[in-house]
Structure 1
Amino acid sequence: MRGFFGSVFRGGGSGKEDTRYGIVDQMWADFFGGFATSKTGISVNWKSALSVTTVLACCRVRADGLATVPWKIYQRTEKSVNGKTVVDRKEARDLPLYDLLATAPNEWMTSLEFRETQSFHVDLGGNAYAFLNKVRGEIVEMILLDPGRVKGKTNPDYSRVYTLTGLDGSTQTVSSDVIWHVKGPSWDTIEGLNIVRYAAEAIGLALATEESHARFHRNGARPSGVLSADGSIGEPGLIKLAAWVRRHFGGAENTGKIMVVDRGAKFTPVSMTGVDSQHIETRKFQVERICEVLRVMPIMIGFSGDKNATFASAEQMFIAHLVHCVRPIHRRFGGSADLFLLKKEQRQQGFYTGFVDADFLSPAIKDKGEYNQKALGNSSAGWVTPNEVRAWDELPPITGGDRLYVPANMVALDETGKPILLTPPAGPTQTTPSGE
């Protein structure tokens, strides 16, 4: 399979008809569809969009939310205990796919790097593609592909094939069982929407305002004030006056000095104009618009606007970011991995992928401690065992740590859910004389 994949990029095209999807056609596709020209006249694509700091910051925040938490494969099992069904879960470390997801999908990328790039592809192009190198039907390697070099096609029977274009223009068409396709929000359920293209106006205006601001500072002259005098001074006099002003009033050590000049000279400070103020407000407005498109709280990229967030409100914003931004990303990638990476019979056996969302609580020791106490049964019936809590921090299990507890002095529950009561030690029974 490695040789097959390598032929895609070494000129393994299989016919003249396939070359119609080569570099020339790709160039025209990019010319007409790959770039969106905004009303500002600026062409917007993934590369120009990343030059907008807001887009770059939002994509990095989203990628961090996907890539910096552990991603594991679990197996859910059921067993009958005293006539009741008990659900159990364990990590499926024996599956070769476990190491590919959790550690290294290929020889040159870590799991974090792989998912980080996937996130950028989905956010800026709508689709992320990975080639699944299989040996005897088992995935042994996952290789990310440039979305611009992958062209999907749906057959009349709704089966999918993908045409991969190599660097030399050669092509190879492969079936969908060797492609992991993660798509963003979709209209036709087949391809993800190109968010950059649909947000071209917001991104284009941000590019235009940034460019105009840069040109202003490069070409414009904005003194701090104007010193005018009666009569003509001449160029030699202007040079001497400018040197005199710099020597006596320039620098922090001369701040606050009183300027005494002759010939009726007057100093008029130059303040910010309304146009300048509106220009800055436009740039702030575009930051918020781009954050809306990428579903990132502005505070997550260090932008608070005119709102002074308190610690309590900032904490709620972080929680909102986890709920409304990070969790949907986890569900999107987790569901896609279950569908494309796990076999149907494996899913039927209870295998599934899962992100360790509780890892987000690691930096907040106080919140983490309170959550663990409640989960163990500090104020109500516990829903996790001590060993499960220890597993969150990669700690080894302890003896007797697989039981649930209720808050009646932390009594352990047996497999049927009944409290395990301690039996008093056997001994002689003392009786009280009837006369006493």
Structure 2
Amino acid sequence: MNWISRLFSWSPPDAHPRASVQSSGGGVVITTPQQLEDALRAGAVSGSGEIVNAHTAMSVAAVYACVRIISGAVATLPLHIKRRVDERTREDASDTDLWRVLRRKPNRWQKPAQFRRMMQAHVLLRGNAYAMIVWSRDKVQELIPLHPDRVQVKQKDDLGLEYIWTRKDGRRVVFGQADILHLYGLTLDGIGGVTPITYARESIGLALSMERHGAIVFKNGATASGVLKVDKQLTPQARENLRESLEEYRAGGSREGKALVLEEGLDYKEISMTAEDAQWIEARKFSRSDIAMFFGVPPSMMGDNSGNDSNWGTGLEQKSNGFRTYCLEDHLTMWEEGVTCDLIRDDDTLYAKFNRAAMAQADIKTRNAAYVQALQWGWMSPNEIRALEDMNPRDGGDIFYPPPNTAGKSEQEKPDDDPQPA
């Protein structure tokens, strides 16, 4: 049994269990009074009274859409390991162990896209993503993901970082900085990231509150609350019969839309605003746009076509370019620097690079026009274009055609047997 198997192997609890030992399934590592208060409240309470955390936020359609779009783009874009041959030449380093881990099998149970999608979702929902690096002679063999709620990062006196991971049985394991792949975006202290959930708590809480309000309204037959007035006092049995009749009427079904008959001189008076009066639908649209702003996703990409995305462009291609430039580029750079700095030890010529062109594909007509210009001006060969279209190379396809408007051959291209003037 190797050390990684011993680390994750189960051990029986002590004869006298400590109060810090949690039940099977894990929990949250609490290190500050604020975290203790949030745990006792089952999360952070927003001004609307809704509890907002990573789990409840995902129940909001706008948050789920933003996390799905960003993490899906990171998971599906090809991540290459490149080797710098010289100042002008780069090549794919598919012969390295790191390429195998990132492109074939990051660990014993996950596929590459699943691993990257989960890590990116951790960054978006919790601000940080951690993976334990399994080394073998300075070569990466596996990446074991660690749940961010169970990892605590500290900066030591020598300015290095250490990571304390709490297992499900309560035991703590300390890792050095060289043993953890740590991904995070925006940071305020330099050692840990912050998540949009923290600062969008009020917007997400408002969205949760509006969804709960809408569910209750439609559950009650989309009727508003009110009061029943009567001139005389009702007996307890009469009040109970009236309550049962109203509940049956408001439950919908076969009585939906029929008239309500009031007896004993009862008079109904509405006292609350309807959903239309409160502009419930418009408020939900504003909430979606507000959440999309925190994540940097165009509202139209997550299904909200009610607004105007003129700042992102009018066409789908322009919106995709804006999303890639102002939102996705930040996350792609985070991955590239994290992989290059944390997973490459002994070779300074290796680095990680996403193929961003895979996301920028236009329609076939636009691509063909671009390929024709690339061939005419000699900055792409036929085989390079065939590779972009996932086609095999052809014989003689590595040639670069000279530009058509050149005045003539350069001095280096002139043949040596040119006749000399008489």
Kindly indicate whether residue 164 of structure 2 is the aligned counterpart of residue 163 of structure 1: yes
Residue in 2 that maps onto 1:430: none
The structure 2 residue matched to 1:26, chosen from 26, 29, 42, is: 29
- The whole-number CA distance in structure 2 between the counterparts of 1:11 and 1:162 is 22
Q: Note closer, same or farther for the CA distance 1:273–1:358 as it changes in structure 2 (3 Å cut).
A: same
The Cα shift of 1:312 comes to 4.5
Cα distance in 1, alignment partners of residues 367 and 12 from structure 2? 54
- After the TM superposition, which segments of 4 or more aligned residues of structure 1 sit over 6 Å from their partners? 18-25, 308-311, 409-413, 421-424
- Residue 68 (structure 2) aligns with: 60
CA distance in 2, matches of 1:166, 1:305: 46
Deviation at 1:199, TM superposition (A): 1.1
> Against the structure 1 CA distance between its residues 311 and 194, is the aligned structure 2 distance closer, same or farther, given a 3 Å change threshold?
closer
Letter matched to residue 367 of structure 1: T
User: CA offset at residue 395 of structure 1?
Assistant: 3.4
CA 1:142–1:351: 2 relative to 1, 3 Å: same
1:133 and 1:141 in contact (8 A); partners too: yes
- Structure 1: 5+ residue stretches without partners: 79-85, 224-234, 251-271, 425-436
Cα distance, 1:221 vs. partner? 4.7
CA distance in 2, matches of 1:171, 1:330: 32
Counterpart contact for 2:154–2:163, Cα < 8 Å: yes
Gap runs ≥5 in structure 2:
225-241, 258-272, 418-422
Whole-Å separation in 2 of the counterparts to 1:421 and 1:13: 83
Aligned to 2:236: none
Cα displacement string for residues 359-409 of structure 1 (whole angstroms, at most 9, x for unaligned residues): 124462223223333333x3xx44333333333344344444444333228
1:429 corresponding residue in structure 2: none
- 1:327-374: CA deviations, max 9, x gaps? 22211211111111112x412xx2111111111244622232233333
Larger radius of gyration: 1
Q: Which moved more, 1:26-35 or 1:110-119?
A: 26-35
Change (3 A) 1:25 1:109: closer
Tell me which residue corresponds to 2:354: 355
- 3-state SS in 2 of match to 1:162: strand
Q: Residue 13 of structure 2 contacts residue 169 of structure 2 at CA under 8 Å; is this kept in 1?
A: no
> Structure 1 residues 9 and 43, CA, compared in 2 at 3 Å: closer, same or farther?
farther
Task: Name the CA shift for 1:339/1:70 in 2 (closer, same or farther; >3 Å).
Answer: same
Per-residue CA distance 1:236-286 (angstroms, 9 max, x = gap): xx9xxx9xxx99xx9xxxxxxxxxxxxxxxxxxxxx957445111111100
Following superposition, the deviation at residue 153 of structure 1 comes to 1.1
The answer to whether the Cα contact below 8 Å between 1:405 and 1:411 also exists between their aligned partners in 2 is no
1:126 and 2:127 matched? yes
Give the RMSD, CA atoms, in angstroms.
3.8
| Within-5 A mapping of 1:294-313 | 294-307=295-308, 312-313=314-315
| 2:152 match: secondary structure | strand
**Distance change (3 Å), C-alpha of 1:328 and 1:373:** farther
| In 1: Cα distance, 2:196 partner to 2:9 partner | 28
Question: What displacement does 1:136 show?
Answer: 2.0
- 3-state SS of paired residue (1:405): coil
**CA distance change for structure 1 residues 328 and 204 in 2, over 3 Å: closer, same or farther?**
same
Determine if the alignment matches structure 1 residue 75 to structure 2 residue 83.
Answer: yes
Match of residue 405, structure 1, among 401, 407, 417 = 401
Give the 5 Å matches for 1:8-407. 8=8, 10-11=10-11, 26=29, 30-33=35-38, 35-78=43-86, 87-222=88-223, 275-276=276-277, 278-307=279-308, 312-343=314-345, 345-347=346-348, 350-362=349-361, 364-376=363-375, 378=376, 381-407=377-403
The 10-residue stretch of structure 1 (133-142 or 42-51) with the greater mean CA deviation from structure 2: 133-142
Three-state SS of the structure 2 residue aligned to 1:4 is helix
Identity %: 30
* Pair 1:50–1:333, CA change in 2 (3 A): same
Q: Structure 1 51/9 Cα, relative in aligned 2: closer, same or farther at 3 Å?
A: farther
Equivalent-residue separation in structure 2 for 1:73 and 1:395 (angstroms): 21
Give the paired residue count.
Answer: 365
SS state at 2:163 partner: strand
Worse-superposed segment, 27-36 or 118-127 = 27-36
Residues 25 and 274 from structure 1, CA distance in 2 versus in 1: closer, same or farther, beyond 3 angstroms? closer
1:76–1:89 Cα contact (<8 Å) kept: yes
Instruction: Go from structure 1 to structure 2 and tell me whether the alpha carbon gap of 1:352 and 1:375 turns closer, same or farther (over 3 Å shift).
Output: farther
Contact 1:150 1:162 in 2 (8 A): yes
In the TM superposition, residue 167 of structure 1 has moved relative to its aligned partner by: 1.1
CA distance in 2, matches of 1:185, 1:140: 29
TM-score, normalization by structure 2: 0.75
Give the stretch that moved more between structures: 59-68 or 311-320.
Answer: 311-320
